[in-house]
Amino acid sequence: MVITDVLDNNARLYADEIALVEINPKFEPESRITWRDYALMQPQPGQPFRREITWEQFWKRANRFANLLLSRGCRKGDKVSILMMNSIEWLPIYFGILKAGAVAVPLNYRYAADEIKYCLDKSDSTMVIFGPEFIGRMEAISDRIPRVRHLFYVGEDCPAFADSYDKMIAYCTSRQPDITLSEDDDAAIYFSSGTTGFPKAILHAHRSLTHAMLTEHNHHAQTHDDVFLCIPPLYHTGAKMHWMGSFFAGGKAVLLKGVNPEWILKAASDEKCSIVWLLVPWAQDILDALERGELKMEDYDLSAWRLMHIGAQPVPPSLIKRWLEVFPTHQYDTNYGLSESIGPGCVHLGVENVDKVGAIGKAGYGWKTRIIDPAGNVVSRGEVGELCVKGPGVMNCYYNDPEASAEVLRDGWLLTGDMAMEDPDGFIYLVDRKKDVIITGGENLYPVQIENHIRAHAAVKDVAVIGLPHERLGEIAAAIIEFKEGCSATEQEIEDFCATLPRYKRPRKIIFATIPRNPTGKIEKPKLREQYCGGSLVEKQIQH
Average pLDDT on 10-30 reads 86
pLDDT tens, 31-89?
A: 333 343 333 333 355 556 889 999 999 999 999 999 999 999 999 999 999 999 999 99
**Rounded Cα distance, 285 and 462, in Å:** 11
**Rounded Cα distance, 76 and 253, in Å:** 29
CA-to-CA dists, residue 341 to 237, 245, 460, angstroms: 9, 16, 32
CATH of domain 3-258: 3.40.50.12780
CA-to-CA dists, residue 227 to 18, 280, 290, 299, 338, angstroms: 10, 21, 23, 20, 25
Work out the end-to-end distance of the chain between its first and last CA atoms, rounded to an integer number of angstroms.
61
For 306-433, which CATH superfamily applies? Luciferase; Domain 3 (2.30.38.10)
DSSP secondary structure string, 51-113? EEEEHHHHHHHHHHHHHHHHHTT--TT-EEEEE--S-TTHHHHHHHHHHTT-EEEE--TT--H
**Rounded Cα distance, 138 and 112, in Å:** 10
Average pLDDT on 358-375 reads 94
Task: Tell me the Ramachandran region of residue 200: left when phi exceeds 0, alpha when psi lies from -120 to 50, beta otherwise.
Answer: beta
Residue of higher predicted confidence among 452 and 315: 452
Number of H helices, E strands in the chain: 15, 27
Report which secondary-structure segment, H or E, holds 13. Answer: helix 3-13
348, β-bridge pairs: 335, 362
Average pLDDT on 154-182 reads 95
pLDDT tens, 81-140?
A: 999 999 999 999 999 999 999 999 999 888 889 989 999 999 999 999 999 999 999 999
Q: What is the pTM of this model?
A: 0.83
**Rounded Cα distance, 67 and 319, in Å:** 47
Residue of higher predicted confidence among 209 and 278: 209
- Say whether pLDDT at 223 is over 90: yes
DSSP secondary structure string, 362-429? EE-TT-EEEEE-TTSPBPPTT--EEEEEESTTS-SEETT-HHHHHHHEETTEEEEEEEEEE-TTS-EE
Q: Are 43 and 30 in contact (CB under 8 A)?
A: yes
Residue of higher predicted confidence among 318 and 175: 175
Neighbours of 167 (CB within 10 A): 10
Highest mean pLDDT among 356-370, 446-460, 525-539 belongs to: 356-370
Q: Are 478 and 466 in contact (CB under 8 A)?
A: yes
Instruction: Give the pLDDT score at 25.
Output: 86
- Name residues whose C-beta falls within 8 Å of residue 464's C-beta, 6 or more positions apart in sequence: 447, 451, 479, 480, 515, 523, 525, 528
**Rounded Cα distance, 244 and 242, in Å:** 5
Residue of higher predicted confidence among 219 and 437: 219
pLDDT tens, 388-421?
A: 999 999 999 999 999 999 999 999 999 998 889 9
Instruction: Give the pLDDT score at 314.
Output: 66
**Rounded Cα distance, 203 and 200, in Å:** 10
CB-based burial, 419-440: b 16+ in 10 Å, e otherwise = bbbbeeeebbbbbbbeebbbeb
Angle between helices 55-71 and 90-99 (to 10 degrees): 50
Instruction: Give the pLDDT score at 432.
Output: 67
Q: Domain segments of the chain: what residues?
A: 3-258, 306-433, 437-532
Residue ranges of alpha helices (H) inside 109-191 are: 113-123, 135-141, 165-169
Judged by average pLDDT, the poorest of 450-454, 512-516, 526-530 is: 526-530
Burial tier of 110 (Cβ tally within 10 Å: 0-12, 13-18, 19+):
exposed
Q: Are 286 and 265 in contact (CB under 8 A)?
A: yes
Instruction: Give the pLDDT score at 48.
Output: 61
Q: Which residue type is seen at 116? A: I
Q: Are 200 and 228 in contact (CB under 8 A)?
A: no
Q: Dihedral through CA 377, CA 379, CA 383, CA 387, nearest 10?
A: 70
CATH of domain 437-532: 3.30.300.30
Share of the chain above pLDDT 90, in %: 67
Instruction: Give the pLDDT score at 445.
Output: 78
Q: State the DSSP code for 359.
A: B
Closest Cα to residue 249, out of 6, 39, 491, 25? 6
- Name residues whose C-beta falls within 8 Å of residue 521's C-beta, 6 or more positions apart in sequence: 232, 279, 280, 281, 282, 312, 313
Residue 511 has φ and ψ, to the nearest 5°, of -130, 125
Closest Cα to residue 91, out of 239, 202, 198? 239
Report which secondary-structure segment, H or E, holds 266. Answer: helix 261-270
Mean pLDDT rounded to a whole number for the chain: 88
Instruction: Give the pLDDT score at 123.
Output: 97
**Rounded Cα distance, 13 and 56, in Å:** 9
Q: State the DSSP code for 164.
A: E
Closest Cα to residue 522, out of 440, 453, 435? 435
Residue of higher predicted confidence among 199 and 383: 383
Instruction: Give the pLDDT score at 269.
Output: 97
CA-to-CA dists, residue 491 to 5, 438, 445, 495, angstroms: 58, 22, 21, 6
